[in-house]
Amino acid sequence: MADYDERNHERSCCPIACALDHLGDKWTLLIIRDLLLGKKRYQEFLESPEQIATNILANRLKKLEAAGLLTQQVYQKKPIRYEYVLTAKGEDLRMVLQTLAEWGRTYYPGTKVFTAHV
Amino acid sequence: MADYDERNHERSCCPIACALDHLGDKWTLLIIRDLLLGKKRYQEFLESPEQIATNILANRLKKLEAAGLLTQQVYQKKPIRYEYVLTAKGEDLRMVLQTLAEWGRTYYPGTKVFTAHV
DNA sequence: TAAAGTGACTTGCATTATACAAGCATATGC
DNA sequence: GCATATGCTTGTATAATGCAAGTCACTTTA
C-alpha cells in the first residue's frame, strides 16, 4: 500500500507545520468541511461541487482515519458499509474552517458558505 | 514557464475551496507564517526549520504575488534585490494561522508557536 | 587583482501526488 | 437471471515536489 503510509512526518516542532503535514493539500480540508456540514457517506462526498476523484477520496479517508481525525462506523453489514464521523480532533477544526471561510468570503466575492443541512 | 501559471482555478463557489486553490499545499501557509513573524527575505525563509527547497520557495513567492497576498519591494539595486511584504489580503490570514496553530498545539503536544521577533 | 564568498535564484532529474477513466465485488430490484 | 447501485481499486498520464547542482551579479578578503 505505497499509496498511503503512516510515518511521523514532523518537519518541525511548529504546530502549523504539523497541522499542514496532515491537512496541507487541496482536498483534505474540503472533506472535513463536508463532515462538519453533516455529510457522512462516500457518495455524499463525491456529490460535492468540487468533484473529488474516487481514488483521492478513498485515500484521504484512510489518511484522515490514520491521523485520528475521523472514525469509520459500520451502518450496514452485507455488504459492509461505513459512515465516516469526525472525532473531537476533527470537530475542533471547525473554528479553523470558519476563519478560513470568512477570509475566503472577504477576498473572493461571490463565494458562499454552504450551511449545514442538519 | 509551465511551473507557474495563473488561471482562475475556482473549483466551486465555496470560499474554503477558493482559499485552498491558493493556499492548499504543504508550504504556502508556512511562508505566510514566516511573513507574519516578520521575515522578509529569501534567505530568511530558507532558514526556517522546515527546510523548504529553493525552487519551491521561488515558485511559491511568485504564486503568492500573483494571488495578491504579497508584493515585492526593492531594497537594493545592483544587484536588484527584493523584500517580500504581505498585502492586507495576506495579513488577514493572521487569524486563520492563529486558529490553526491553536489546534496544532492542542493535538500535537510538544509543538511550540514561534513568536514574532519584531 | 585574483579568489572566495553571498544572495537570490534557475535547471535537471528522480520521486511522489493528482486526475481521469475504467474495472470489480457485493449486493438489491425487477 | 439481468440491470442497476454503492463503494471502492487499478491503470495510466500529467503535474507537483524534493534534492543537488549550477548560474549570475555583485562584495569581501587575502
Q: pLDDT band for position A111 (50/70/90)?
A: confident
Per the listing, cell 508584493 goes with B71
- The reply to whether B113 falls in a domain is no
**Average pLDDT over every residue of A102-108:** 94
The structural domain count of chain A equals: 1
In the structure, what pLDDT confidence band is assigned to residue B23 with cuts at 50, 70 and 90?
A: very high
Confirm if A49 and B11 have CB atoms less than 8 A apart: yes
Pick from B21, B50, B106: CB nearest A12: B50
SS3 at position B85: strand
pLDDT the model gives residue A80: 80
Torsion of the alpha carbons at A87, A89, A91 and A95, rounded to the nearest 10: 180
Contacts of A106 (CB under 8 A, 6+ apart): B92
**What confidence score (pLDDT) does residue A9 get?**
54
CA B116 centroid distance within chain: 15
Nearest to B50 by CA among B100, B115, B114: B114
- % of chain B at pLDDT higher than 70: 90
The answer to whether the C-beta of A73 is closer than 7 A to strand D is no
**In the block, which residue shows the cell 544587484?**
B79
Residue B118 included in any domain = no
The percentage of chain A sitting over the pLDDT mark of 90, rounded to a whole number, equals: 73
**A81 touches B at CB < 8 Å:** no
Residue at A97 is within a domain? yes
Check residue B9 and give its pLDDT.
Answer: 53
Confidence of residue A117 (pLDDT cuts 50, 70, 90): very low
pLDDT digits (tens, 9 = 90+) for A40-86: 999 999 999 999 999 999 999 999 999 999 999 988 877 788 899 99
Asked whether residue A90 is assigned to any structural domain, the reply reads yes
- Mean pLDDT to the nearest integer, A78-99: 92
pLDDT of residue B3: 47
* A91 falls within a domain: yes
Tens-place pLDDT, residues B33-59: 999 999 999 999 999 999 999 999 999
Domain containing A65: what range?
15-107
Residue A7's pLDDT band, with cuts at 50, 70 and 90, is very low
Model pLDDT, residue A18: 93
The answer to whether residue A3 sits within a structural domain is: no
Please say whether the beta carbons of B97 and A16 come within 8 A: yes
Residue B117: per-residue pLDDT: 45
Report pLDDT digits (tens) over B75-101: 888 788 889 999 999 999 999 999 999
Nearest-nucleotide field for A56 (CA, C1'): C18
Instruction: Report chain B's mean pLDDT, rounded to a whole number.
Output: 87
Q: Is residue B5 part of a domain?
A: no
Residue A5 has pLDDT above 60, yes or no: no
CATH of the domain at B25: 1.10.10.10
CB–CB of B30 and A49 under 8 A? no
Alpha-carbon distances of B109 from B13, B103, B113, rounded to whole Å: 36, 10, 11
Residue A90, pLDDT > 70, answer yes
Give the distance from residue A105's alpha carbon to the nearest chain B alpha carbon, in angstroms. Answer: 5
Q: Is A50 on the interface with B (CB under 8 A)?
A: yes
Domain assignment present for residue B49? The answer is yes
Beta carbons of B14 and A111 less than 8 Å apart: yes
Assign 3-class secondary structure to B10-33: CCCCCHHHHHHHHHCCCCHHHHHH
Q: How far is A117 from chain B (nearest CA, A)?
A: 16
**pLDDT band, residue A110 (cuts 50/70/90):** confident
